[in-house]
Structure 1
Amino acid sequence: MPVNGDSVRRARGRPIEDNVLEAAWLYYVEEKNQSEIADELAVSRATVVNYLQQAREQGHIELRVNPLAFERHQLSQSLRAKFGLASALVVPGPNASLASVALAAGRYFPDVLDPGDVVGVSWGETLELMAQQMIPRTIADLTVVQMLGSMHCPYIFTSESCSTNVALKLSGKVVNLYAPAALSTAEAAETLRSEPVIQEHFALLATMRKAVFAIGTMGTASHIVKSGIATPEDVEWYAAHGAVGVLCGRFIDGRGRHVKGPLDERMIGVTPERLADLDVGFLVAAGEARVAGVFGAMTAGYVTHIVTDEPTAQTLLETVG
């Protein structure tokens, strides 16, 4: 495609960053199409696509979710009415994936935060995906606090990575919990809880008014088993005593009540009760296996905001507690 000499001279010898910024401006502000931008910058259309991707990744362009628009979705309205939620963002379409839900959460979650917030972050694949999809944004004086101890984990997502990655994307301070999620004995856990650094951590957690969390599944292949927090026998015990899901490493029943058992005395982390009456309880969850736990968490009042997909929302509305 022919280009004029001035465009060629302008494109050559310029820093790539200049082209990235100009391409973003032309596309998002002046609303030119990619072919027009390619002509103007004297580059290929594929290069323009790459420039626009770089602009998003570097935070020059922020694609934000408008929850008010999505809350016009009938399923969103019904979820908010049934569970008394402040917000329900339902990713449209019958085949939305967990990755799609995490993407929506990553775009929406920063909007519920304010300068000076102390926000708790739980653990899991969903939250790691959410953090990866967040566009970098600066929220002044933000403190991100790990809510569950660490674990020997075969996954790339760990408690500390979830909290750290959220803090990095939002230019916040991260306060990680320097303790295992589960110790070998209740006595060891009690001793660790008395350590000043752990007491200081929980004193900070006592001030948090916002938190983001997911719901874990029950089963021998679940993350709570694979991470080493619980054994298959532990899961069977809790299931036999009414547990239907996992919240911040703890087992909850179909009404969101904490099912206490032999594992609890060995754990270091918040209990589900700490999530009650928060200003923002931001739940990211999707999938049939999580429905019972999600229903319980919302019934218990831990959730003010949810990001989910159409099939999960529909099943939640059909569920009777």
Structure 2
Amino acid sequence: MPRDALEDSDAFICEVCWHYFINEMTQAEVAQQMGVTRLRVNQAIRKARARNMVRIEIHSPFLPRIEMQEALRERLGIDVALVAPANRTPYNYHSAVGAALASYLLDQLREGKWRMLGVSWGLTIENAVRRMPLQPFPDLEIVSMLGGTSRGASFNTFAVASSLAERVGAKYSLLAAPVYLSESVDREAFLGQEIFEEHFAKFERLDAAILTASDVSPKSFLVEYGLPSEVTQAELEAAGAVGDVLGRFLDCNGQPIDHPIDDRAIGVPMDVVAKVPHKIMAAAGPHKVEIIRAAARAGLFNALVTDDLTGELLLADGPEEGDT
């Protein structure tokens, strides 16, 4: 395609608008990242407005990276891969994915197929919630899938489910429990309380679930604020952990590590997660590549929302084990 025609295409204009409006880059920064002149960027923004592609948000919610998405779908053995263009200077691994997740969720909710939606917590989901417009879905129930932390610096783990419910006009059920039980607490007795029995029963009826993942480092909110004081990052890594999904630390093959913390996590069991029909993993960042792969091997998601930088890293090595 001639360069002039390419730069007049909806795909080019959409990517320019994504960086300008969603990633909040200047026109000069967009031009530098995309290898075009600032004039071309300015023209693309004007064309987007003239074509009614941009209102308050980008009309085309995220730029389809068709080849990368298809490669990720095949590599990870999943049904859907959505790749958003990231702002790489400076790189924010929550913003672009959060915006793409918000748009994807709205599209799915408008189809009216979900009645019960499970939600984890994390900065990516919190970012998505903030970007979602108010919508009425009164037949929907948001179910929190993981206990929360009593401390933190960036967001309230217990508020994610209720905030999402407020945005989409839905009911919500909060898992009012710590993410990990104290060593002295009997797990069976704790979960035997009626309030938890009712909540855990809802996990079996989830139509969809929104998951996040993180590594075993201070970049992880869970590692920084949620681990019991007697559990260290070093011992989790020594046990083979590459990261966590829903508070369960997994090894590179997607198997739970051999560590007592696994029995102390309060949330939806992994075997129940695997049975949820629509499982959406929203995660990005170089430090999350290993845990995304591990979660895919474990069958913990069949839809991935990520960014192009992470997509490149997920595809950078050779084929996954079992690929031909």
Which residue matches 1:82? 75
Q: Is the 8 A contact 1:234 1:263 kept in 2?
A: no
Tell me the distance in 2 between the aligned counterparts of 1:291 and 1:308. 10
Aligned to 1:23: none
The residue aligned with 2:64 is 70
Structure 1's 202 and 160: CA in aligned 2 closer, same or farther, altered over 3 A?
A: same
Counterparts of 1:157-176 in structure 2 under 5 Å? 157-176=155-174
- Residue 291 of structure 1 and its aligned partner are, at CA, apart by 0.4
Greater Cα radius of gyration, structure 1 or 2: 1
CA contact (8 A) 2:241 2:251 kept: yes
Partners of 2:258 and 2:162 in 1: CA distance: 29
Aligned to 1:42: none
Any idea what SS the aligned residue of 2:185 has? helix
Q: CA deviation at 1:250?
A: 1.2
**In the alignment, which of 101, 105, 108 is matched to residue 101 of structure 2?**
105
Provide TM-score, normalisation by structure 2.
0.74
Residue aligning to 1:143 = 141
Deviation larger for 138-147 or 257-266: 257-266
2:85 counterpart residue number? 92
| Cα contact 2:85–2:307 (8 A) shared by 1 | yes
What's the counterpart of residue 243 of structure 1? Answer: 241
% identity of equivalent residues: 29
- Which residue number corresponds to residue 227 of structure 2? 229
Q: Would you say the 8 A contact 1:76–1:90 is kept in 2? A: yes
| Matching residue of 1:46 | none
Q: Which residue of 2 is the match for residue 298 of structure 1?
A: 296
Instruction: Specify the alignment match of 2:264 in structure 1.
Output: 266
Contact preservation (8 Å) 1:148, 1:177: yes
Q: Which residue of 1 aligns with 2:36?
A: none
Deviations along 1:17-45, whole A, 9 cap, x unmatched?
A: xxxxxxxxxx9xx9599xxxxxxxxxxxx
Indicate the RMSD between aligned Cα atoms, in angstroms: 2.8
Distance 1:271 1:159, change over 3 A: farther
Partner residue in 2 for 1:24: none
* Matched-pair contact (CA < 8 Å) for 1:216–1:246: yes
Counterpart code for 1:70: P
> In structure 2, how many angstroms separate the alpha carbons of the residues matched to 1:94 and 1:278?
32
Taking structure 1 as the reference length, the TM-score comes to: 0.75
Q: CA deviation at 1:220?
A: 4.3
The runs of 5 or more residues in structure 1 that have no matched partner are 1-26, 34-48, 57-61
1:116 CA drift (Å): 4.9
Cα distance per residue 1:136-181 (max 9 Å; x no partner)? 2222410100111121122342332111111111111110012122
Q: Deviations over 1:97-143 (max 9, x none)?
A: 32112111111122223355211100111111111111222224101
C-alpha contact 1:116 1:140 (8 A) present in aligned 2? no
> For the residues of structure 2 that align with 1:196 and 1:206, how far apart are their CA atoms?
16
Q: Is the 8 A contact 1:115 1:140 kept in 2?
A: no
Which amino acid counterpart does residue 75 of structure 1 have in structure 2?
A: M
Q: CA deviation at 1:267?
A: 2.4
Matched residue type, 1:107: S
Kept in 1: contact 2:249–2:262 (CA 8 A): no
**CA separation in 2, counterparts of 1:139 and 1:86?**
25
Contact conserved, 2:138 with 2:171, CA < 8 A, in 1? Answer: no
In structure 1, C-alpha distance between the alignment counterparts of 2:202 and 2:184, rounded to whole Å: 23
Equivalent positions of 1:202-213 (< 5 A) are 202-213=200-211
Q: 1:144/1:133 Cα in 2 relative to 1: closer, same or farther (>3 Å)?
A: same
Q: What does residue 14 of structure 2 align with? A: none
What is the alpha-carbon distance in structure 2 between the residues aligned to residue 158 and residue 294 of structure 1? 24
In structure 2, what is the Cα distance between the partners aligned to 1:316 and 1:233?
30
Question: Residues 167 and 260 of structure 1: is their aligned pair in 2 closer, same or farther, counting only changes over 3 Å?
Answer: farther
Return the letter of the residue paired with 2:97: V
